[in-house]
Amino acid sequence: MKMIIKFSSTILLVVAILLLISSPVTAAVSGFVAKGDDGNFYEYSYDNLLDSYALSILGSPDGYYEDFAGKKSYAILISNGKYIEYNDILDRYASALVKGEAFNLGEHAEKEKIKLAALPSEIKVVIFNSGRIVYELKKIASGGVEEEPGYRPRRTKTPLVGSAEVSVEQAQKWAKSREAHRRFIDIAPLYWEFAEKSGLRPEVLYAQSAMETKFGEYDGTVPPEYNNWAGLKIAEENGDSRENHEVFSTPEEGVRAHFNHLSAYVGLKPIGEPHGRYHLVAEQPWAGSVFYVEDLSGKWTPSEDYHIYILIALDQIFDTELEKEIPGPDDNDDQNKNEPESETKPKTGSNNPDKRHVAVDVSVLHFRGGPSTDDEILERLTLGTVLKVTANQSEWLKVITPEGKNGWVHGDYVREVDMDLPENPLKGKIIVIDPGHGGSDPGATGVTGLREKVVNLSVAKELIPLLELAGADVVTTRSGDHTVSNRARVEIANKAKADLYLSIHANAYSNPDSNGTETYYWSKGENAHASRFLAHQLQREVTSVLGLRDRGVKSSNFYVLTNTIMSAVLVEIGFLTNPEEEELLSKPVTHRETAEAMYEGLKAYFLYYR
């Protein structure tokens, strides 16, 4: 039985909060879309709505929540960029309540029949800036690929014909990073297989399929069982309804039809017997003259921006990095790998291994328990990590990590570095310390009332003198209890031309059992490798000193991480909503110890990152 319930905007938000509380991280809510009386669609940040709603309850409304409450909720934006239809979620939630069942938004989002919201090509993003509401236009692709603000194509023209420039493994890893449906990930090898037969570039068609099928989720018009990977219509179509789209017997046939259809644009011969619409396209006066992705706009679809989304997806695929599996030693090494190692001097550099240092020269390097690809992977080292060489066996180097761990790496994937370690690596460095929240923004509040803004500032005040004593030039975003916007924090850091940005926070969650320390960086920025290395140093030091659960290093698109132009991290020290951790975070000694741990992490970053 389908239940339709009318809620006020306030109740809608409360229900949405309840839904999120019960949902796993994979479906974390990023925002809401509401429809105004003017017919426009408006997107609101989830975090900003929560903050604004709290201010309204406290009697100090800032207008952001009130702006949302005056409109009709339409969709939920989850962290993978998908917009889920709001009414569908409410119906399912209401049905679960009637049946006495738990409703899990994460499980709902992962189901094949997830109902995606239909949105126009442009919506307005609602931003709270300097005490007033402003709107920024955001373009929404017809598929699952969103436009990136300020995007500029890397090439003047992107050819449709040619050899693949990326591997199928890269494409699949990209699809996984976008939380694509399993069917879309699994279909990738067929694109590379048909590329060999047609001459078309597989990554172009795969990126296009991501748009047309919303990463294999589809949108209800063309169901998955049609095996239609490109939204292809029948020859005699007369609209956009389901019956106007081609049905293919197998996924493979659908991929073949996709290649054949684009072959008609380029002027290539089809693979086998083509589908009906192939002949219709082949008869067009421009058929055989469409050679670039940029030429698809206005032809494949009336949209003049269609190609932009394919180019964005292609750039994302190109930027997807695979872990390079290190080649094994030669046959003689395989035969001798179980024999006592011969610790000879390295082939290059210092004759004394104890004085030699190397830096990781690939995005991810396997750190192993022995000198062979058969040995256990102990850790994955990030680009720039400095290692101390203690011995070598053939092409393998025995090394010590900055954390003091012993293991092996392959010499082909490191480079030798000068390591005349400075006595004071922090001297002259410009470091921005950002105590999160402040003023009218208290941040999280603990079970006994401890406010996050107080903890953050206290830790910062303990850390800053340590850094200054070491010769660092410290810039802080706030030295007292006053409000600073995220935009202002970023401007302070960028204007200072800082070497490093550290934002200090304490965590919160609805479940009081949630606990531990976690550190965030942004994995897609220019300084991603350095930021990741920095995050690991701080995470290691803070968890070691406080003894809290290690929740790990994670990537997140927090505003202060995506808009700063230097290495940047955000540390969540512990959970104020956990009674034991709140008590720990209330103590001045904890603030001092946390600051000392952060100091050691910052020092390790400047010592060991190259």
Q: Is 142 helix (H, G, I), strand (E, B) or coil?
A: coil
CA–CA separation, 50 and 287 (whole Å): 53
Bridge-partner residues for 567, per DSSP? 500
Query: Domain tally for the chain?
Result: 4
Claim to verify: residue 472 and residue 446 sit in the same structural domain: yes
Q: What is the pLDDT of residues 169-194, one digit of tens each?
A: 999 999 988 878 999 999 999 999 99
352: left (phi over 0), alpha (psi -120 to 50) or beta: beta
Least confident of 294-308, 329-343, 363-377, 468-482: 329-343
Structure tokens at 327: 């080649």
The confidence band for 337, taking pLDDT boundaries of 50, 70 and 90, is very low
Claim to verify: residue 350 and residue 201 sit in the same structural domain: no
**Type of residue numbered 140:** I
Q: What is the pLDDT of residues 399-445, one digit of tens each?
A: 998 888 999 999 888 888 776 666 788 999 999 999 999 999 999 99
Q: Is residue 205 part of a domain?
A: yes
The residue range of the domain holding 335 is: 331-417
The CA dihedral of 178, 179, 185, 191, to the nearest 10 degrees, is -30
Torsion sign (Cα): 314, 318, 319, 322? positive
Query: Could you please report the per-residue DSSP string of 56-105?
Result: HHTT---SHHHHHHTSEEEEEEETTS-EEEHHHHHHHHHHHHHHT----H
Closest CA to 227 of 251, 210, 203, 246: 251
The pLDDT, as a whole number, for residue 139 is 63
In this predicted structure, the answer to whether residue 12 has a pLDDT above a threshold of 90 is: no
CA–CA separation, 365 and 500 (whole Å): 24
* Contacts with 420 (C-beta within 8 Å, 6 or more apart), sequence order: none
Catalytic annotation on 572?
yes
Of 417, 447, 469, the last residue of a domain is 417
Claim to verify: residue 67 and residue 175 sit in the same structural domain: no
As a whole number, mean pLDDT of residues 578-596 equals 96
* Contacts with 575 (C-beta within 8 Å, 6 or more apart), sequence order: 506, 507, 508, 509, 514, 515, 516, 581, 582
CA–CA separation, 455 and 441 (whole Å): 13
Mean pLDDT value across the chain: 81
In this predicted structure, the answer to whether residue 125 has a pLDDT above a threshold of 70 is: yes
Claim to verify: residue 288 and residue 437 sit in the same structural domain: no
**Residue labelled with tokens 């850091």:** 493
Q: Is residue 151 part of a domain?
A: no
What CATH number does the domain containing 530 carry?
3.40.630.40
As a whole number, mean pLDDT of residues 539-544 equals 90
Q: Is residue 227 part of a domain?
A: yes
* Position with higher pLDDT, 596 vs 108: 596
The pLDDT, as a whole number, for residue 236 is 84
Of 139, 157, 185, the last residue of a domain is 139
Provide the pairing of β-strand 414-417 with 430-435.
unpaired
Torsion sign (Cα): 266, 269, 274, 276? positive
What CATH number does the domain containing 361 carry?
2.30.30.40
Sheet holding 364-368, edge to edge: 377-382, 364-368, 406-410, 396-400, 386-393, 356-360, 414-417
The pLDDT, as a whole number, for residue 159 is 87
How many residues does the structure list for the chain? Answer: 610
* Position with higher pLDDT, 105 vs 246: 246
Q: Do 56 and 9 meet the contact criterion of CB atoms below 8 Å apart?
A: no
Percent of the chain with pLDDT over 90: 37
Closest CA to 413 of 431, 432, 399, 429: 399
Least confident of 186-195, 251-260, 600-609: 600-609
Q: Is residue 146 part of a domain?
A: no
Q: Is residue 573 part of a domain?
A: yes
In this predicted structure, the answer to whether residue 324 has a pLDDT above a threshold of 60 is: no
Bridge-partner residues for 414, per DSSP? 360
Claim to verify: residue 177 and residue 306 sit in the same structural domain: yes
In this predicted structure, the answer to whether residue 328 has a pLDDT above a threshold of 70 is: no
Claim to verify: residue 484 and residue 444 sit in the same structural domain: yes
The confidence band for 11, taking pLDDT boundaries of 50, 70 and 90, is very low
In this predicted structure, the answer to whether residue 1 has a pLDDT above a threshold of 80 is: no
Q: What is the pLDDT of residues 141-168, one digit of tens each?
A: 545 565 555 556 655 678 898 878 888 9
Claim to verify: residue 173 and residue 312 sit in the same structural domain: yes
Q: Is residue 295 part of a domain?
A: yes
Claim to verify: residue 289 and residue 222 sit in the same structural domain: yes
Q: Give long-range contacts, CB 8 A cutoff, 24+ apart: 388-391.
A: 388/354, 388/356, 388/357, 388/419, 389/346, 389/353, 389/354, 389/356, 389/357, 389/358, 390/353, 390/354, 391/341, 391/343, 391/344, 391/353
Structure tokens at 93: 């939630």
* Position with higher pLDDT, 36 vs 336: 36
CA–CA separation, 45 and 111 (whole Å): 25
Closest CA to 246 of 278, 270, 269, 290: 278
The pLDDT, as a whole number, for residue 419 is 66
Closest CA to 571 of 514, 519, 500: 519
Q: 351-384: buried (b, 16+ CB within 10 Å) or exposed (e) per residue?
A: eebeebbbbbbbbbbbbbebbbbebeebeebbbb
In this predicted structure, the answer to whether residue 44 has a pLDDT above a threshold of 50 is: yes
As a whole number, mean pLDDT of residues 293-308 equals 81
Claim to verify: residue 529 and residue 454 sit in the same structural domain: yes
**Residue labelled with tokens 């999280």:** 444
Claim to verify: residue 282 and residue 336 sit in the same structural domain: no
Of 119, 139, 159, the last residue of a domain is 139
The pLDDT, as a whole number, for residue 80 is 58
Q: Which of 111-115, 170-174, 216-220, 567-571 has the highest mean pLDDT?
A: 567-571
Q: Which of 128-137, 458-467, 540-549 has the highest mean pLDDT?
A: 458-467
Query: Could you please report the per-residue DSSP string of 270-299?
Result: PSSSPPHHHHHHHTSTTTT---BGGGSBTT
The confidence band for 381, taking pLDDT boundaries of 50, 70 and 90, is confident
* Position with higher pLDDT, 520 vs 331: 520
The pLDDT, as a whole number, for residue 21 is 42
What CATH number does the domain containing 312 carry?
1.10.530.10
As a whole number, mean pLDDT of residues 351-357 equals 59
In this predicted structure, the answer to whether residue 355 has a pLDDT above a threshold of 60 is: no
Claim to verify: residue 280 and residue 394 sit in the same structural domain: no
As a whole number, mean pLDDT of residues 223-239 equals 88
Q: At what angle do helices 168-177 and 182-198 cross, to 10 degrees?
A: 150
Classify residue 148 by its DSSP letter: P
The pLDDT, as a whole number, for residue 199 is 86
Q: Is residue 423 part of a domain?
A: no
Claim to verify: residue 567 and residue 495 sit in the same structural domain: yes
The confidence band for 84, taking pLDDT boundaries of 50, 70 and 90, is confident
C-alpha angle with apex 496: 152 to 488, nearest 5 degrees?
A: 70
Q: Is residue 161 part of a domain?
A: no
* Position with higher pLDDT, 323 vs 300: 300
